[in-house]
Structure 1
Amino acid sequence: MDSLCPLTDAVIGDFAREDAAQLYTLVGRGARSHLKVLRNGLEISEMAVSDLPGNPNAVWTVKKNIEDQYDSYIIVSFVNATLALTIGDTVEEASDSGFLPTTPTLGCSMIGDDSLVQIYSEGIRHIRADKRINEWKAPPRRQIVRCAVNRRQVAVALSGGELVYFELDLNGTLNEFTERKLFNADIACMTFSEISEGELNSRFLALGTVDNAVRIISLDPNDMLMPLSTQNLPCPPESILLIDTPNDDGKGVAAVHLNIGLQNGCLFRNTVDNVTGAIMDTRTRYLGTRPVKLFKVQVQGRSAILCTSSRSWLLYHFQRRFHLTPLSYANLEYAASFCSNQCAEGVVAISASTLRIIAAEKLGVAFNVQSFEHRLTPRRIAVHPTKPCLVAIETDHAAYTEVTKTIKRNQMANDVEAMATDETEAELAREIAMNLREKKLDERVFGAPRAARGKWASAISLISATTGEKLTYFELPQDENAKCLALVQFSKHPDAVMVLVGCGVNEPLNPNTVTPEEAANRPVRGCVYTFHLSPTGDRFDFLHRTETPLPVGAIHDFRGMALVGFGRFLRMYDIGQKKLLAKCENKKKRYRERERKRKASES
């Protein structure tokens, strides 16, 4: 079962500079130990990544025919061009799509049963199935700035706040509505509501204007383009999307939700009345520091919303409730739903100058987990104050270090070769000895060789907080037990970060079971290792080792020095060239002595 047991230590913070905190946990025992990094977000599968010739600003997917199961084209818009890509076993540039390649595209879609429409700043391009092209040109000195399109309707916003509406007739021709609607402010975004079952056209058109308002416009033939309701916003809207949410039992009228992405990084989610168009029940969620853009995608056969800001989020309906979860993936700038024979419910998205095809997995899970292996049981973890790196200590009792394991294997191999009495046994012994020397069994499967009680193996790791890679691995000598860890900035070197590791030497697991003879043969003591952490945080270098009379139990950075505790001693150390220099010491009296004196004074 996937769990965090046993958990030995954990830290939380945005050490990977991802604009959201991560949880770094030390989990497991022995060779089956891991550093698990938990991120609040959905796990994303990356299907393909392709470099594009420039930085695109938008992407869409379209089908050629209403009966097609999969998307036919990926349309990518650049600052001064449009690129059409065909979707098949491979994604290649299309030469006969009918799209105008020399201008950026504002929107595109399949319209009717087998036609395509491309909307650009100078007009609307209607591409028939037989490659006939009809064009509507914008008025002189006016440009199309925003658009909305579905299978039967097109709405475009001209500069100056003028709305032009088109409908598809039975002959497959786009006809402009006779009257145009003029608003007092420029239109910033627009969207159609979804076409309900049994109807031909959308019932509502939602408009966001730069005067911090959203309006629901009627598309009913009796009151065409009449405003039904208005909602004021705290800042201008960046994107808007109307989504129908069917009931869980599939009966009744679907609820209409108005989703508004604002330029201040907030998402407004409202409910729209199916009959009157009234806006109700506003809910707000902060998504990031950049303006919020909304894109309709498919998840579990239902409409979902991909939100992009300084982080990317997915708003979807799963197990009878809505989930708004960040994506554990690179920041996306524009996205569209993607469907092919290799990926039924995917997303094609733009990130910088790359085109990516991705899919969300493990819906409903709160955390995305990455695991990185450790050789020994990790005990403590510390975080660099400015760089994205972590320092961890690993310790196991009754264990051998890698150096000792190699010595033991060589000794066993030599003993096997020495036991051979004739040539046949010698040949077999050489084969066994070679296997002992060269073949190392996977300790995660077979376990590590167990040493005697009182034997210790320890190591210190420098780990990248972004990739989990071990940048530096330093193994301590046999029988040194790493117990504590601290990052210290000494006053003599204020710009340098030192890693101090406190250890016990020849320390028994239970001191009460040690006989006087064993204590005389293996004296218990301690030490402190000092390492210099590089300014870039990509490595640490060993400086020196300082002996202490007892095992070190705690180290703390205190006023430009290191506060070290061992036994009943508390010492303050400063940095030196060959070892740490003891500056002062506090020797605490034993508890029993204090109690005896207290009782004597009371009596």
Structure 2
Amino acid sequence: MEVEKHEMSGDVACLDIAPVPEGRQRSRFLAVGSYDNTIRVLSLDPDDCMQILSVQSVSAPPESLLFLEVQASIGGEDGADHPASLFLNAGLQTGVLFRTVVDMVTGQLSDSRSRFLGLRAPKLFSINVRGRRAMLCLSSRPWLGYIHQGHFLLTPLSYETLEYAASFSSDQCAEGVVSVAGDALRIFTIERLGETFNETAIPLRYTPRKFVLQPKRKFASAEQMENGDDDDKDDPLSDEQYGYPKAESDKWVSCIRVLDPRSAATTCLLELQDNEAAFSLCTVNFHDKEHGTLLAVGTAKGLQFWPKRSLVTGFIHIYKFVDDGKSLELLHKTQVEGVPLALCQFQGRLLAGIGSVLRLYDLGKKRLLRKCENKLFPNTIVSIHTYRDRIYVGDIQESFHFCKYRRDENQLYIFADDSVPRWLTSSYHVDFDSMAGADKFGNIYFGGCHRMSLTEIEEDPTGGKIKWEQGKLNGAPNKVEEIVQFHIGDVVNSLQKASLIPGGGECIIYGTVMGSVGALLPFTSRDDVDFFSHLEMHLRQDHPPLCGRDHMSYRSAYFPVKDVIDGDLCEQFPTLPLDAQRKIADELDRTPGEILKKLEEVRNKII
């Protein structure tokens, strides 16, 4: 029985009816998406049926619409829940998910947000997750939008591309999803809500030390360096279950592993013999193109730490990739006087940090050939990064040293070092002038060299030789300035620059000894810096830590915190009571919704 009819100005692309509110018999709103890049909200009330309540223009024709009513239960001091909100979600043909709030009374649209999901236009479906309505977005990969701990989260699912989906329930599967994937019908459940990463564990024999990616191959292979106190012997029992047999206390075992990460299969495993242990590795392309990409591995024989540090000798192994990169063949090994803790390719040669000596090697027929070296580093070299003709060397307890190689003189010069002793645990090259590092006391910092002093070095015909002889503080003529300082409170053992989502911003990802993963995202506008600085300041006052310690003094445990805003603290804003949220928002001349939108935008840039 046709009750009402309404002529639309353009062809209808998609539509959706809002869920029926509790205690009512009919829904209030109808959303219609048109090919003229507009979304209209119409009334379904008998008094003003089919009247247009609001119009929203979007950047592309909508492919799918879905109303989603969410009840955000956020426990504040008063224990009150936030009121229910009605969201209108639209999947646009450009692969963007457009999300806006619908006023429950007037139908007006406000607080719109958008996020790029994939190359295909998202199709939206309503499902149930933990007794609440949730949204499944099917683009080039499936995404799930749901409420978790007071936040609306939109996270990708670790599953293959789906065409259609619907909520499904049975005795065996209370909250399932039935879907179409290609020509197959699949039923699956969604587990482990709230987890940020999907991880795959590959068991190894010993403790992994270093790994690199093998370049220019159809598959990505990693060389895992392992080092332990056990030996490999034939045992009828499962070694994985009962553990490997132990060797004597002063014996090392170590191996080099070539791993295909897609199939998790080990394609090559070389056990190091004669009490050798591997400590560093890198891929290197020498000027001699005969062998292509080679693998350099730094090892030590008979290394002991007690009663005093000693070793028999060190080696640098050179391996050639054979069998399409799946196996390794030893070309030769070069004996050195210390432990090569750092290796790096540099202009068709190999840089090695052996104790306090930085040495440049070239490839020979039977061994590596020394070209030049610098013995002026204070303790032990633990990291080497290169860019163009510049070398960034990390010392185990004296932070970074900026070096330059003069090809015409065949000399390595240190033109800048740090005045602050830092016990480095990890490092990463950020740009031409700066390095990111972490020390063993739980600090992350960025150090850079002043551009004016760098220009003087570049234009100095002696390459800084005269200034080096003058020196400052018994060191280099220039000092590394601290750009960023932040106390994590956990020892960082890995730093890497990455973009975790398509279209997301590049950030520095760090991993810690205790198993946490964090990200440092650079701000690109001064307005964002001012906004989050003031938000952090208010949260420090109105939401102090449970243990009663001052937040700023914690983040400045060893050095004063500098130019870093604590995102973990800002993320606690939604957990505040409504009155506290309104108070902070008024101080910032914003509404609580605008602050939540800003937090979501920054979160979506990372993950």
- Normalised by the length of structure 2, the TM-score is 0.57
Cα distance, 1:447 vs structure 2: 5.8
Higher strand share: 1
Distance 1:253 1:451, change over 3 A: closer
Q: Does 1:207 align with 2:4?
A: no
Decide which moves more: 498-507 or 438-447: 438-447
Aligned to 2:230: 399
Contact 1:561–1:572, Cα closer than 8 Å, also in 2: yes
Deviation at 1:498, TM superposition (A): 1.6
2-side partners of 1:305 and 1:271: how far apart?
15
The percent identity for this pair of structures is 37
- Partner of residue 292 from structure 1, selected from 106, 122, 136: 122
Q: Is residue 2:58 matched to residue 1:271?
A: no
Does the 8 Å contact 1:458/1:480 carry over to 2? yes
- Aligned AA for 1:588? K
User: 5+ unaligned residues in a row in structure 2: which ranges?
Assistant: 74-78, 380-468, 475-607
**Aligned match of 1:503:** 299
Question: Structure 2: how far apart are the matches of 1:584 and 1:527?
Answer: 17
Asked if structure 1 preserves the Cα contact closer than 8 Å seen for 2:165 and 2:177, the reply is: yes
Give, in whole Å, the separation in 2 of the partners of 1:213 and 1:590.
Answer: 65
Partner of 1:78: none
User: What letter matches 1:439 in structure 2?
Assistant: P
Whichever of the two has the greater Rg, that structure is 1
How far off is 1:568 after superposition? 4.7
User: Quick one: distance in 2 between partners of 1:587 and 1:228?
Assistant: 75
Tell me the residue number matched to 1:307: 137
Letter paired with 2:2: E
Q: Which amino acid aligns with 1:225?
A: M
SS in 2 for 1:235: coil
Shift of 1:534: 5.2
For residues 290-339 of structure 1, give each alpha carbon's deviation from its aligned partner in whole angstroms, at most 9, with x where no partner exists.
32221111101111001122332111123333221111222323221121
Q: Which residue number in structure 2 is paired with residue 372 of structure 1?
A: 202
Q: Post-superposition shift, 1:376?
A: 1.0
* Partner Cα separation in structure 2 for residue 203 and residue 450 of structure 1: 75
User: Would the aligned equivalents of 2:357 and 2:377 in 1 still touch at CA under 8 Å?
Assistant: no
Aligned partner of 1:586 in structure 2 is 373
Distance change in 2, residues 1:482/1:299 (3 Å): same
Cα shift readout 1:357-408 (whole Å, capped 9, x = no counterpart): 2211111222233222111111112123344222211012x433x2xx45xx
Structure 1 CA distance for aligned equivalents of residues 305 and 141 of structure 2: 48
Q: How many residues align?
A: 376
SS in 1 for 2:308: helix
Partner residue in 2 for 1:3: none
What does the per-residue CA deviation read over 1:446-468, in whole Å, with 9 as the maximum and x for residues that have no partner? 56414132x11110112223343
CA distance, structure 2, for counterparts of residue 347 and residue 558 of structure 1:
53
1:189 to 14, 18, 35: 14
In 1, Cα distance between equivalents of 2:183 and 2:319: 41
Query: What is the CA–CA distance in structure 2 between the aligned matches of 1:375 and 1:533, rounded to whole Å?
Result: 22
Paired position in structure 1 for 2:350: 562
Opposite residue 395 of structure 1, the aligned amino acid is: N
Aligned residues of 1:571 and 1:582 also touching (Cα < 8 A)? no
Q: Contact 2:134/2:144 (CA < 8 Å) preserved in 1? A: yes
Match among 466, 473, 476 for residue 262 of structure 2: 466
- 1:99-498 aligned within 5 A: 175-177=1-3, 180-246=5-71, 248=73, 254-386=84-216, 387-396=219-228, 398-400=229-231, 402=232, 405=233, 438-440=235-237, 442=239, 445=242, 448-453=245-250, 455-493=251-289, 496-498=292-294
Structure 1 counterpart of 2:200, which letter?
Answer: Q
Cα distance, 1:485 vs. partner? 0.7
| Contact preservation (8 Å) 1:501, 1:530 | yes
Q: In the alignment, residue 106 of structure 2 is paired with which amino acid? A: T
Deviation at 1:219, TM superposition (A): 1.6
| CA–CA separation in structure 1 for the residues paired with 2:290 and 2:65 | 52
Give me the whole-angstrom Cα distance separating, in 2, the residues matched to 1:293 and 1:441: 48
Quick one: distance in 2 between partners of 1:591 and 1:318? 51
Which one-letter code corresponds to 1:222 in the other structure?
D
Matched, 1:529 2:320: no
Question: Equivalents in 2 of 1:589, 1:447: separation in Å?
Answer: 43
Q: Does the CA-based 8 Å contact 1:388-1:537 persist in structure 2? A: no
Structure-2 separation of matches of 1:345 and 1:358: 9
Q: 1:370 to 1:247 in 2, by over 3 A?
A: closer
TM-score (norm 1): 0.57
Q: Does the CA-based 8 Å contact 1:316-1:322 persist in structure 2?
A: yes
Name the aligned partner's letter for residue 176 of structure 1: E
The equivalences for 1:76-91 within 5 A come to none
Secondary structure at the aligned position of 2:264 is classed as: coil
1:374 partner SS: coil
SS at match of 2:110: strand
Deviation at 1:589, TM superposition (A): 5.9
Q: Which residue identity does 1:299 align to in structure 2? A: V
Residues 591/263 of structure 1: CA separation in 2 closer, same or farther (3 Å cut): closer
Q: 2:268 & 2:31 partners in 1: Cα distance?
A: 56
Residues in 2 aligned to 1:494 and 1:329: alpha-carbon distance in whole angstroms = 43
Contact kept? 2:357, 2:376, Cα under 8 Å: no
Determine the C-alpha separation between the residues in 1 that align with 2:9 and 2:306. 82
* CA distance 1:280–1:329, shift in 2 (3 Å): same
Q: Is the 8 A contact 1:488 1:562 kept in 2?
A: yes
Greater Cα offset, 535-544 or 230-239: 535-544
Aligned-residue Cα RMSD (Å) equals: 3.1
Contact 2:356 2:378 in 1 (8 A): no
Q: CA deviation at 1:181?
A: 2.5
Could you tell me which residue of structure 2 aligns to residue 136 of structure 1? none
Asked whether the equivalents of residues 295 and 318 of structure 2 are also in contact (C-alpha less than 8 Å), the reply is yes
Q: Mark the CA change 1:224 to 1:382 in structure 2 (over 3 Å): closer, same or farther.
A: same
Is contact 1:496–1:535 with CA below 8 Å preserved after alignment? no
Question: Structure 1 residues 186, 376: CA separation in 2 closer, same or farther (over 3 Å shift)?
Answer: same
Q: Structure 1 residues 232, 442: CA separation in 2 closer, same or farther (over 3 Å shift)?
A: same
**Structure-2 change in CA distance of 1:590 and 1:385 (3 Å):** closer
Tell me by how many angstroms 1:342 deviates: 1.5
Distance (Å, rounded) in 2 between the aligned partners of 1:334 and 1:575: 57
Classify 1:214/1:534 alpha carbon distance in 2 versus 1 (closer, same or farther; 3 Å).
farther
CA distance in 1, matches of 2:285, 2:184: 42
User: What is the 5 A alignment of 1:24-39?
Assistant: none
